[in-house]
Amino acid sequence: MKALLIVDIQNDFLPGGALEVPNGDQVIEVINSVQSKYDLVIATQDWHPSLHQSFASQHIEHNVFDQIDLNGLEQVLWPDHCVQGTKGAELSDSLEQRTIEAVFRKGVDPLIDSYSGFYDNGRRKNTGLHGYLQDRSIAEVHVCGLAADFCVHFTAMDALSLGYRTVILSKATKPIDREQYMDKKQAFIQAGGLFF
């Protein structure tokens, strides 16, 4: 059984959003076109409380994109984005959602960020996604969405570590930083991941 994991196709990551991924809207048509090929379609959703500590606005001595230590973990400080209940946190209206069986929310704990759809960044808490996939007898996951160098990458790396045959759909993802993405792409391949 094979699942498609659609990562964070939310308004705040699309053109005009608070944390826009360059050309992020270009992946939606590709994602919509492949959904019918999978036994199971799942989505993730960044879902931050308004006072999330990964937001630069919560650290007056720091700026957006500064790196800090947040409870023992390296943390990039982001602009406020995907705040619970806001338009920016909603899945894009352009995304075909009728085939999405479940949506797993992440980043809900204000004290720790969560790039992966499986765990927070410290792997202290899980989202329930792994158990859901196990219950559905999923052996292979294909990951797509935004952004390639953050949430897609970390979701795919966790899927590999959990024993899934893992593929990133390269035409269905875009990075924030292309150079950083190339480094992470190599790490994913070295760990046994595949790109289609």
Distance CA 153, CA 54 (A): 18
Q: Which of 12, 46, 80, 106 is catalytic?
A: 106
- Whether 8 is a known active-site residue: answer yes
Q: How many residues does the chain have?
A: 196
Structure tokens at 158: 């966790």
- Whether 113 is a known active-site residue: answer no
Is-contact 46 21, C-beta < 8 A? no
DSSP state of 92: P
Q: Which of 8, 25, 80, 113 is catalytic?
A: 8
Structure tokens at 70: 């947040």
CA trace torsion 25, 26, 31, 32 (10° rounding): 80
Amino acid identity at 3: A
- Whether 66 is a known active-site residue: answer no
Is-contact 56 78, C-beta < 8 A? yes
Q: Which of 144, 149, 151, 174 is catalytic?
A: 151
Amino acid identity at 132: Y
- Location of structure tokens 């946190």: 89
Write out the catalytic residue numbers.
Answer: 8, 106, 151
